[in-house]
């Protein structure tokens, strides 16, 4: 039995008090991963951005809204985790300054200055390596990457930069869909396996793969 920390869903980057940047992540894949992990006897904590899906009742759910909130909540849960699955799709960019109130409509349009948001899975992977474990095995970390045409080179560059153990690559057709197609690469950029189908079936295969890899 492992204690799995799972990040899920999108985050929001607010322009003002009512408008925000986000993406189409639905939380469906994370829900499927949580269900598969629970069915295998694992404990699951989900740190999730705003979604409409219902996560399994047996999982602990920590709701968040922004990328910074997701990172803070996940770091708080990390000391109790044996593994991390970064299935969330946090906003990569956020406004350099959040306006007070509501930005008025302007005929000339609006130019936004954006800055990079915190990298949640990279920060968690770095923190995991520094977390005292005693005789327990190191915390393992799995990243997810959505890439056009499931591009291996871009995904493996992220895997190296984020210092994770595995990366699961999908493509934009998976967004808010009941199905997905994934490929999994290890730290040497070798293909570990690939699956396609309904997210529940793919998630079950992924959790089994993680169990075998990190046993």
Q: Where are the domains of the chain?
A: 3-98+113-213
Distance CA(177)–CA(54), nearest Å, equals 15
Alpha carbons 155 and 161: distance in angstroms, whole number = 10
- The DSSP secondary structure of 78-147, one letter per residue, reads GGG-SEEEE--B--SEEESSPPSS-PPP-TT-----EEEPP-HHHHHHHHHHHS--TTSPPPEEEEEEE-
Q: Which residues are within 8 A (CB) of 201 and not within 5 positions of it... i.e. 6 or more apart?
A: 195
Is the pLDDT assigned to residue 107 strictly greater than 90?
no
Mean of the per-residue pLDDT values for the chain? 95
Whether the pLDDT of residue 204 is over 80: the answer is yes
Catalytic site residues?
23
Residue 33: pLDDT over 80: yes
Over residues 151-174, mean pLDDT: 95
pLDDT confidence of residue 136:
77
Q: What is the pLDDT of residue 106?
A: 84
State how far the alpha carbon of 192 is from the alpha carbons of 78, 164, 165, 179, in Å.
Answer: 26, 14, 12, 20
Q: Which CATH number fits domain 3-98+113-213: 3.40.50.10300, 3.40.50.10310, 3.30.420.10, 3.90.400.10?
A: 3.40.50.10300
Please classify residue 180 by burial: count the beta carbons closer than 10 Å to its beta carbon, then call 0-12 exposed, 13-18 middle and 19+ buried.
buried
């Amino acid at each position: 039995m492992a204690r799995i920390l799972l990040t899920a869903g999108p985050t929001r980057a607010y322009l003002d008090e009512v408008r925000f940047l986000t993406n189409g992540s639905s939380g469906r894949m994370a829900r499927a991963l949580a269900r598969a992990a629970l069915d295998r006897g694992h404990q699951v904590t989900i740190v999730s951005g705003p979604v409409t899906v219902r996560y399994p009742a047996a999982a602990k759910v920590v709701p968040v809204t922004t990328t910074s909130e997701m990172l803070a909540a996940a770091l708080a849960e990390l000391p109790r985790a044996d593994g991390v699955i970064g299935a969330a799709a946090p906003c990569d960019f956020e406004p350099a300054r959040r306006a007070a109130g509501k930005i008025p409509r302007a005929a000339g349009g609006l130019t936004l200055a954006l800055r990079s948001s915190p990298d949640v899975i990279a920060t968690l992977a770095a923190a995991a390596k520094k977390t005292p474990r005693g005789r327990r095995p190191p915390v393992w970390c799995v990243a997810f990457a959505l890439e056009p045409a499931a591009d291996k080179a871009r995904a493996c560059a992220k895997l190296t930069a984020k210092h994770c153990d595995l990366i699961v690559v999908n493509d934009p057709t998976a967004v808010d869909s009941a199905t997905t197609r994934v490929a999994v690469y290890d730290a040497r950029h070798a293909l570990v396996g690939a699956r396609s189908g309904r997210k529940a079936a793919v998630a079950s295969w992924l959790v089994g793969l993680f169990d075998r890899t990190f046993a």
